[in-house]
């Protein structure tokens, strides 16, 4: 059963984080990430599986301090696409399909097709949504090009963090957990948190991709 879980932190009115996880595979990531954040003053919303629809990605909750996207993603022809948890249907979202804002995609050759959304959809439908937010994009090739980072930062995000190539799920889980430990417990800057995570886990052992940081200021 797909659920949306709300975890109450120590100071729920001060800091908010949202974790968007259409992959929803059993792992320690859900427990450890929510514990790290709630124990350090965040209210955490966790949205998973089929609840991660195109509609959700068109209307993301506004003004969270941290957005974590535990998603499949890919870069095709210099455009980055984020997978939803909504299975593809030809008749669904016809106008968005015609506008090339959503597309069918699958994470592997044997999997079902899902809707994937473009940077243009994120930007057009989430105006001024991410004021001074940190975006942690855990999927493959989130920074193979800058278009998705630009989409978030143009709508207010201060920093966008992702991989410059393909990445294994276990490796991105462990790296982002190390980053959150540094950010929440040591109270480091996001740059220092990324550096700390890299010293802990390194590049992806299979694809050799590296976690990188993007902002409009750097």
CATH number at 53 reads 3.40.50.1460
Beta strands 79-87; 114-117: pairing state: antiparallel
- Any domain includes 88: no
- Any domain includes 75: yes
- Any domain includes 195: yes
- Any domain includes 102: no
- Any domain includes 23: yes
pLDDT of residue 14: 78
- Any domain includes 37: yes
Per-residue pLDDT 10s for the chain (218 aa) are 344 454 444 444 579 999 999 998 878 999 999 999 999 999 999 999 999 999 999 999 999 999 999 999 999 989 999 999 999 999 999 999 999 999 999 999 999 999 999 999 999 999 999 999 999 999 999 999 999 999 999 999 999 999 999 999 999 999 999 999 999 999 999 999 999 999 999 999 999 999 999 997 76
Domain range for 39: 4-79+118-214
- Any domain includes 101: no
CA end-to-end span of the chain: 42
pLDDT of residue 26: 78
The residues, any chain, with a CB within 8 Å of residue 65's CB and separated by 6 or more, are 15, 16, 17, 42, 132, 133, 134
- Cα 198 from Cα 24, distance rounded (Å): 24
Number of domains in the chain: 1
Residue with structure tokens 């700390």? 196
- Any domain includes 105: no
pLDDT of residue 11: 41
């Amino acid at each position: 059963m797909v659920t949306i879980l709300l975890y109450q932190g120590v100071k729920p009115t001060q800091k908010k984080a949202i974790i968007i996880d259409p992959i929803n595979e059993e792992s320690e990531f859900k427990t450890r990430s929510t514990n790290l954040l709630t124990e350090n003053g965040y209210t955490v919303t966790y949205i998973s599986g089929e609840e991660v629809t195109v509609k959700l990605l068109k209307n993301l909750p506004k003004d969270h301090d941290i957005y974590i996207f535990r998603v499949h993603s890919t870069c095709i022809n210099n455009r980055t696409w984020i997978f939803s948890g909504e299975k593809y249907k030809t008749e669904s979202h016809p106008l968005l399909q015609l506008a090339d804002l959503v597309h069918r995609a699958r994470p592997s050759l044997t999997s079902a097709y899902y809707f994937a959304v473009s940077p243009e959809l994120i930007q057009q439908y989430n105006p001024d949504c991410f004021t001074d937010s940190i975006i942690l994009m855990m999927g493959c090739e989130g920074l193979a090009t800058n278009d998705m980072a630009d989409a978030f930062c143009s709508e207010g995000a201060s920093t966008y963090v992702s991989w410059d190539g393909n990445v294994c799920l276990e490796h991105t889980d462990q790296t982002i957990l190390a980053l959150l430990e540094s950010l929440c417990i040591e109270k480091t800057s996001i740059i220092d948190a990324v550096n700390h995570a890299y010293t802990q886990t390194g590049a992806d052992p299979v694809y050799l991709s590296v976690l990188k940081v993007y902002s409009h200021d750097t």
